[in-house]
Structure 1
Amino acid sequence: MTGETGFVGRRLAARLEALGMEIVGFSRSTGGDLLTGDLPLEGAGHVFHLGALSFVPDSWTDPANYHLVNTHGTVRVLDQCRRAGVPMTFISTFVYGAGAPVPVSEDFPPSPANPYAWSKLAAEDACRFFAGNFGMDVTVLRLFNAYGPGQKDSFLIPTIARQAVDPSVKEIVVADLAPRRDFVHVDDVVEAMISTIGMSGGGTYNVGSGRSYSIGDVIAACLKAAGTSKPYSDRGERRENEVMDVIADISALTAATDWRPQIGFEQGMKSVIEAQAIC
């Protein structure tokens, strides 16, 4: 597994170990380098490739490096899996852009809204090339807005949760209240990933909750979970190429694997608030 020390990777590794599987990791934090290193694939039965540069705002200031790590790094992982004869699951992202229908299915033409999504789409193309030309079993999962305990503080939901539980914060402030997102809990993401083990031929699938919620909905759910009430506002900051509403059509993955999200929105936000309270 690449990226096993990241937000989703840690959760996936713990779940796989609980299922009795042996995990071998490869990440920057433990000395691994997607651009130069060799994956420890001897005896491997499946590779989950999560390793990537992933913070969208940073991708606008360093698009070339995002493309290098996320795209060429994925090509190197694919080639090593090809030579070792190991199937792979690649973790991608929302690649559809502002013109996407709601909900959006996998056959809608991609139009990446930021350099991070562009680098992931290019990596997806590499996955499909290796699958089509080398006969590899490669599954692409397009994660929508994954959240849950353990996510970095720089992301939206941890930022809201931190303000909700902090008694010194009298008003919750975010950049923009307008966008709506398909928020999917990290544990549901993990189960979606596990469902791809043994999937013959692979394919490309959305992973989301199948519903969208506003930023105000997130704040309200966090405040409810925290048992408090605070006013909230935004700074009126609209991100470049902002997508205003997002819902994943998840019917394809459900049909292929029987996977369905199990963690409701309020239940998921409660898990984030509880994690903040422990911190």
Structure 2
Amino acid sequence: MTQFQHGGRVWLITGAGSGFGQAFARAALAAGDTVVAAVRRPETVAALTEEFPDRVDAVRLDVTDAAQSEQAVKDVLQRHGRIDVLVNNAGYGLVGAVEEVGEQELRDIMEVMFFGALRLTRLVLPAMRERRSGTVVQVSSMGGFLSFPGVGAYSAAKGALELASEALAAEVAPLGIRVLILEPGAFRTEFAGPALHGSAVIEDYRATVDPVRTGLAASHGEQPGDPAKAAAALITALDLDPLPLRLPLGADAVGAIRAKLAAVGADLDRHEQLATDTAF
């Protein structure tokens, strides 16, 4: 492996071969940092490694492989001495009603976007604790804060990661470690294209799920969000003090999250008496 200069921050980014992951990598490189691009197929970051041979390190990593994850973190720490920013970005979309999603499909999506992300988080924390420094960036989605027909399994995985990360943020704050949850809306990535999976179809759910299934696929390449601008927002956010716990990305995400908060608030107001009249 190439010996790297140790100036700037050292990033470990999963799913760096395309979409948000590649945009985050390029933004970090533009900021003068070093990027460890963790991907299942290193050839997907060949252009990056050729363009920045001294500051990009491609690492083969399937985030569902525990042994591979442990070795990857160990190798990064050995070569670079530290991990300043972990970005848990690897993931994919899955469309299907809760009843349509198969047991294995549900377990697979949780393995990638919940168990895999938390595993890497836990693996980098000891070194971050030792240095009393570091930032964990969890790439969630507006679908990690709210849900709608057809994305129950996806939202469950992202939502689980969000809640674990909310607890994590409070746990590690006294240790000098920060946590940032990104909640993008619709961006021009591979999410609605090659990275979108579909479950088996049950006719009774066509009315509620088909609009999402067809709408997502039709949106591919036409989404309003620019991944490069999302990456620029991440770079800016990392300099904020205090760092926000959650950062929605895109007007659609901001609007949807505001609507969810308003709906929850309205429910609380409407049923407060029923909810609170429960004490001895």
Q: Are the structure 2 counterparts of residues 155 and 70 from structure 1 closer, same or farther at C-alpha, using a change threshold of 3 Å?
A: closer
Residue 277 of structure 2 corresponds to none
Aligned letter for 2:31? L
Between Structure 1 and Structure 2, the one with more helix by share is 2
Q: Are the structure 2 counterparts of residues 57 and 137 from structure 1 closer, same or farther at C-alpha, using a change threshold of 3 Å?
A: same
SS at structure 2 position matched to 1:76 = helix
Query: Does residue 1:82 correspond to 2:132, yes or no?
Result: no
Which of 237, 241, 247 is the matching residue for 1:205?
247
TM-score (norm 2): 0.56
Residue 189 of structure 1 corresponds to 230
Instruction: Kindly state the Cα deviation for residue 57 of structure 1 after the two structures are TM-superposed.
Output: 2.9
- Of structures 1 and 2, the larger Rg is shown by 2
Corresponding pairs, count: 184
TM-score (norm 1): 0.56
Residue 159 of structure 2 corresponds to 121
Q: Deviations over 1:88-108 (max 9, x none)?
A: 11110122124xxxxxxxxxx
Instruction: Kindly state the Cα deviation for residue 155 of structure 1 after the two structures are TM-superposed.
Output: 7.1
Query: Does residue 1:72 correspond to 2:115, yes or no?
Result: yes
Residue 45 of structure 1 corresponds to 84
Which of 4, 9, 15 is the matching residue for 2:27?
15
Separation in structure 2 between the aligned mates of residue 176 and residue 144 of structure 1, nearest angstrom: 14
Separation in structure 1 between the aligned mates of residue 159 and residue 192 of structure 2, nearest angstrom: 23
Q: Deviations over 1:65-99 (max 9, x none)?
A: 1112211111112212321212111110122124x
Q: Are the structure 2 counterparts of residues 210 and 114 from structure 1 closer, same or farther at C-alpha, using a change threshold of 3 Å?
A: closer
Check the 8 A contact 2:114/2:157 in 1, yes or no. yes
Separation in structure 2 between the aligned mates of residue 190 and residue 145 of structure 1, nearest angstrom: 14
Instruction: Kindly state the Cα deviation for residue 6 of structure 1 after the two structures are TM-superposed.
Output: 2.6
Check the 8 A contact 1:7/1:152 in 2, yes or no. no
Q: 185-194 vs 26-35, which deviates more? A: 26-35
Residue 175 of structure 1 corresponds to 214
Instruction: Kindly state the Cα deviation for residue 45 of structure 1 after the two structures are TM-superposed.
Output: 1.9
Superposition RMSD on alpha carbons, in Å?
Answer: 3.4
Unmatched runs of 5 consecutive residues or more in structure 2:
1-12, 43-59, 129-133, 197-212, 259-280
Separation in structure 1 between the aligned mates of residue 215 and residue 62 of structure 2, nearest angstrom: 36
Q: Deviations over 1:90-134 (max 9, x none)?
A: 110122124xxxxxxxxxxxx994211210110111211211123
Identity %: 15
SS at structure 2 position matched to 1:188 = helix
Q: Deviations over 1:226-248 (max 9, x none)?
A: xxxxxxxxxxxxxxxxxxxx646
Separation in structure 2 between the aligned mates of residue 49 and residue 64 of structure 1, nearest angstrom: 18
